[in-house]
Amino acid sequence: MAADQFSPFPPSARQIGSAGRFDSLAWDGADLLWCLTRSGQGALYRAPSGQNGSVISQGLNIGGRVHYGGGEFSARAGRAAAAARDGGLYVLEADAPPERIPAPPGACAAPVISPSGQQIAFVHSDGRQDSLMLWTAGQPIAAVVDDASDFYTQPAWNPTEDRLAWVEWRYPNLPWIHTRLVMKRFHPHDSPQPVILRDEADSVFQQPEFSPDGRWLACLRSHPNGDSIELLDLSNERWRTLTGGPGLVLALPAWLQGQRTLVWSADSQSLVYLRFQQTRAEIWQVWIASGSTRMIPDGGYTWFQQPCINPEGRLAVLASAADTPAVILLRGAQTWQVAARADPPPPPGIFPQPRPLNFPGSHGETVYATYYPPVPGRGDGPPPAIVHLHSGPTRLAGLEYDPEILFFTSRGFGWLSVNYRGSAGFGRAYQQALHGRWGVADVADAAAAVAALCRSGLADPQRLALYGSSAGGFTVLNTLIEHPHLVRAAVCKYPVSDLLRLNETTHKFEQHYNDWLLGRLPEAEDLYRQRSPLFRAAAIRTPLALFHGEADPVVPPAQSQQIAEAVRAAGGICELTIYPAEGHGFRQAGTLENFYDQMLGFLRRQGVMEG
């Protein structure tokens, strides 16, 4: 956003739509690099000694495009390897034009430069075949390291460049259901075949990281009893659990390439890692020799991502809070320093202060939500409110900055973010609560959230709206069908509505997700029909607005078009907007501006807000 992003107040749809987002962060010696995306355009910055960053991507639109993206770049010895949205992988060096790495057609992500700087390992996908690839300087084309699995992520080199570790998984799994940890040796006398290091029932492995001294390989393990940091002594090939415990959450579901919550200290004596306490993230440190831990002060921030440490031992991390736009923090001797901001700092008092609003679910379990009041408060009586259901459904609405919340709370709305059953961050059992129950448990929680909001007196029961995208939109539509008089209006972005058709048309990453959420076809065909909003859309009586991208590879726009036709044919109100050149998630500033203006106008016409 521009420097006047909050003036005048409330911010406009254009201002909200142009907000910046940090995607990745890494050190290259004393230089700090990061990717900043704004209005769908990603740029790579380099900041010598962590100060005064400048763009080095020379017009490339930086961003990984393998499935849901992520894994934008890595850097070493003055070079950066960066994935671009044109599908290519580029080497960037000072005073030289970008060099495209010769790779097959498709998309690249998660590049990692070897210690010598002569090799780059990366993930590649053409939408059908995924592989782990390796490019060596001077070679005519990148070579395949492994393509026997269905998916790959998080490649990591050891310091002597003779081992490469990664995470892979196979259908019908997803990376939060079951993965395995794999390593390949490149010594001439070793077997050319990769070796499976860990592959255990009910376990998910993430983020292999070799220690700088080459002695250890660390990784994260998620299992029914909680998360743990696992440590392999490479000298004797013995594993041990470094830290962990029941209910501990150390990693979130790997929807994106390049997710990182674990990093080695420069002296190989400790690891810095993130812990997720429901909707908050914390930074911790654990020592190898003793297993003792300590929490690093949060500096008032509530959300952290991408911790990284340089050879001098300096810690950098992406941070934000519900009332603080994203920043890059550097840890000094005792305090945090801001190295870069996604957007200028706001004046105090314009962001709502979040408060928990947890409530009992249909089977007595606690369901989690966060309420954001309007700022400033608007007159007497409870305000209108938007009840938001996040996408995924295996995701988390954490206490991080979200300009969308500011847009609506600054206009007199309360906002309730619901972490319905199936959400991450609350333990493995809670995350798996939608197994076979998608379209039932989440719908019950959405209805219970509305009831809890009304009981609390925090919202006007006559001026409520449901809002969700993708899987969250699926839950919104089913909630409207099961509870026809629950809210006054609803808004969905690219919602899932036809589960049978989705199984035939969705992208590779989620091709078997419904097997876990619902059951396998053809045996579960009747259940797919029962849970698909499209086949019951005539029951929707709540005014509905749908928004969809014409180029959506995950949920075809035809699904929203069919919902709109069915609702209108039954006499209901349904507005539909299709955005050209947008996919599953709106990125262009013009699209976002139009969407927020249209959503606001729709809620005004339906009487959710005045004026």
Task: Report the DSSP pairing between strands 204-210 and 216-223.
Answer: antiparallel
Q: Residue 470 domain-assigned?
A: yes
Neighbours of 79 (CB within 10 A): 17
Amino acid 3: pLDDT:
40
**What tens digit of pLDDT does each residue of 429-472 get?**
999 999 999 999 999 999 999 999 999 999 999 999 999 999 99
The token duo for 38 is: 């704004």
The backbone region for 59, taken as left when phi is positive above 0, alpha when psi lies in -120 to 50, beta otherwise, is left
Question: Residues near 52 by Cβ (< 8 Å), separated by ≥ 6?
Answer: none
Q: Residue 572 domain-assigned?
A: yes
Q: Residue 385 domain-assigned?
A: yes
CB-count burial class (<10 Å; 0-12, 13-18, 19+) for 580: exposed
CATH of the domain at 566: 3.40.50.1820
Mean pLDDT, residues 241-248: 93
pLDDT > 70? residue 378: no
Print the domain residue range for 548: 355-495+537-605
Q: Residue 328 domain-assigned?
A: no
pLDDT > 60? residue 2: no
High-pLDDT (> 90) share of the chain, %: 86
pLDDT > 80? residue 377: no
Mean pLDDT, residues 8-35: 91
Amino acid 1: pLDDT:
44
At residue 481, the 3 state secondary structure works out as: helix
Q: Residue 128 domain-assigned?
A: no
Q: pLDDT-derived band of residue 611, with 50, 70 and 90 as boundaries?
A: low
Q: Residue 516 domain-assigned?
A: no
Q: In 381-470, which ranges are continuous DSSP H helix?
A: 403-409, 428-431, 441-456
Q: Residue 51 domain-assigned?
A: no
Amino acid 380: pLDDT:
74
CA distance 262 to 307: 7
Number of domains in the chain: 1
Question: Do 361 and 352 touch, CB atoms closer than 8 A?
Answer: no
Q: Residue 372 domain-assigned?
A: yes
